[in-house]
Chains A and B, each alone.
Chain A
């Protein structure tokens, strides 16, 4: 009988609690999760995994929408112009959310978005061909200084992160190197392996296999801590070059989205990041999670936007 009373009391307290939760944000229609890049890249792959596993954490499904074009500008513009109700989210990155709006004339600005959650980040790894005339960062820079313009490197896209890390390196050292943009990590690595270029800096998911097979030599990572999978590769600052650029993947909402909606979304992603099935899939694609909630992400992004303004100025001054 006592147990019965306890149960009733528990139920009553739950009922008393219920109105409070009801006032919190619930999502009554599917949320559009916009990836601004074509299918097949690491971004759309992450988006596929996120949207597959998201439903129980939002009590609503996330629909993966791919709006490619203009190197991400088309999708970003669309989200920036969509209704600020939390039902349209952008799967962003530093290229489209902090660098390009500051160096190019785009139809949106950095202020058009509110950070919701950072999913993860990864540094770029500078790599050289195994038969290149350099095998360390110092040798690479020495080679570039001795042979101005002859060091040809691959990069993905203009003002993308694989492009920007080389711009930073050039700005910091004053060395003259020639970059060729191939439009994506796949072709950029293909031409590096084929011998058309000598160096590249990219994500571990793109270069890791080739480092392991011995075709590419890792030089340094653009972070302040080494990469877990490659503990022997120095960070660029440790190697003597102040080139730090963390490529994050994060979720942003259009500016003007109500705070309580942003909080609810941030909480939803936080709970998703602890989902076992989700983590297993993320692990399989060689990725990991470094979650930051909306407040932390906001602070990081504000910092980065300021840093990118400096980068833009530095690169401009160098060119």
Chain B
């Protein structure tokens, strides 16, 4: 294998390959950094252009775009509290708080280091143990997925902030919004009010742009009108980077989140959007200072970013070994691989070992490149926080509209974005956390599908959740987590306790 990898490096370390990869990374960073232009869309739009290119030109370019875009989603999340991609939503909370307290550069560097380290480790896992890991992942069936989604949903408790009840309400609202559209199994129309506009459901990205970005703009505009000037940011302090000892302190968090991201990413269907919240929630739960989360904790940024970037190489595991894409973006990549004459699946390693290892080698090389490109870009981007609000936010607003429209080329998505913006503003004003809403909306469809698939396969018997050892183990973990949260809530006082019971009911 090492010899294969060495041969792969010799194919990849070619100025032309490095050149297109660099172009891909920069294009990806641009796309990922603009709210609404998602990594999936960028790869989907650019994929056909690579069909006619050489394999080792086209694929490195696409993979570069993919990597750059996933990383760059965190940049606007940190600088202007507007996640560039859905996977960076968990980064916004602490990242933006850090930027606002004058630690923009530090937050950007933590995000970069966490991304690169997580990506590197997950890539090594992909190269070394893809086959055995995939053969475990393929055994994970609907009951296990159901319980994994339920466990992920308990992260609502971790991100609800002070008021658990408001967190639960937000999560339930998110679940309810996700129900709009066609029933995934029976095809029945739910809450569509007989209009085709709602048939496809509420699009996540436009809603997120509204809730995060537009509401941020509204709040800034309000500040301006009221004359409450935000504390001026000290340019000198803002340019202070992350120290080596600071990075060392974050390493346990990064490694743990990488493990979570790699494990979840290797399961087909659980993408970076979910993994970032789980990693964030676990980091907060295991932290000695959980109260600092949401107020600018470096661990929060590191956990979320390591959690979402580890998913990228991990999602390639089921794709390369079984030809089964882990998420939409790997599904698009699968198409690009096929158009190059590479058929991902059980026989690809035997048939095209040379190209496969060249791509593996490229994944490692592109990581190092991302580190340098990122460090270079941060030098300029950290200055965005110094732009006067009156100039910055109107520009962001323009991007909100363009981005919301661009996701599906649908005018209705602009309406969704506007409604999301007003709702987000109202939620912030009433102290209702946005994170649980996002988690509810993200997880509900997967939870519903896998629950119904389990029960169809078992023909209605709930025993399917205890008969398989893996499902039973997950059920015990879920019960333990819910019990733990209930106990913590009970100790804190009665109001939190009732809300925890509510959550308990909801995860079932």
Which residues does A use to contact B, with CB under 8 Å?
38-41, 44-45, 48-49, 51-52, 64-71, 73-74, 77-78, 104-105, 107, 149, 152, 157-159, 178-183, 186-187, 189-191, 193-197, 209-210, 212-213, 215, 277, 281, 284-286
Contacts and interface: CB of A to CB of B under 8 A. Distances in A.
Contacts of B343: 209, 286
A210 B138 contact: no
B204 to A, nearest CB: 12
A72 B237 CA distance: 52
B141 A191 contact: yes
A187 B324 contact: yes
A260 B141 CA distance: 53
B185 interface: yes
B443 to A, nearest CB: 16
A163 B69 CA distance: 36
Nearest to A73: B199
A183 B48 CA distance: 25
B196 interface: yes
B340 A284 contact: yes
Given A182-B449, A213-B346, A281-B339, 7 more contacts: A38-B328, A39-B44, A40-B325, A40-B329, A44-B44, A78-B196, A190-B268
B339 A284 contact: yes
Contacts of B199: 69-70, 73-74, 77, 107
A181 B182 CA distance: 14
A40 B324 contact: no
Contacts of A197: 457
Contacts of B338: 45, 284-286
Contacts of A49: 48, 51, 339
Contacts of A194: 138-141
B141 A195 contact: yes
B332 A193 contact: no
Given A69-B181, A180-B457, A195-B141, A45 B200 contact: no
Contacts of B449: 182-183
Contacts of A159: 187
B202 to A, nearest CB: 11
A151 to B, nearest CB: 11
B347 A68 contact: no
Contact of A285 (B40, B331, B335): B335
B141 A158 contact: no
By secondary structure, the A interface counts as: mixed
Contacts of B40: 39
B413 to A, nearest CB: 11
7 contacts: A40-B325, A40-B332, A40-B335, A67-B410, A74-B196, A191-B453, A196-B457
A6 B142 CA distance: 76
Contact of A209 (B141, B187, B346, B457): B346
A151 B207 CA distance: 42
A189 B456 contact: no
Interface in B40-58: 40-41, 44, 47-49, 51-52
A158 B181 contact: no
B182 A71 contact: yes
B323 interface: yes
Contacts of B409: 65, 67
A68 B139 contact: no
B52 A187 contact: no
Interface string B336-375: 0011110101110000000000000000000000000000
Nearest to A42: B335
A277 B53 CA distance: 12
B138 A69 contact: no
Contacts of A285: 335, 338-339
Contact of A69 (B200, B322, B324, B329): B200
A195 B456 CA distance: 15
Given A186-B324, A193-B322, A41 B200 contact: no
A70 B190 CA distance: 11
Interface string B424-450: 000000000000000000000000010
The 5 closest A-B pairs by CB, nearest first: A69-B200, A40-B331, A209-B345, A39-B44, A213-B346
Contacts of A41: 331
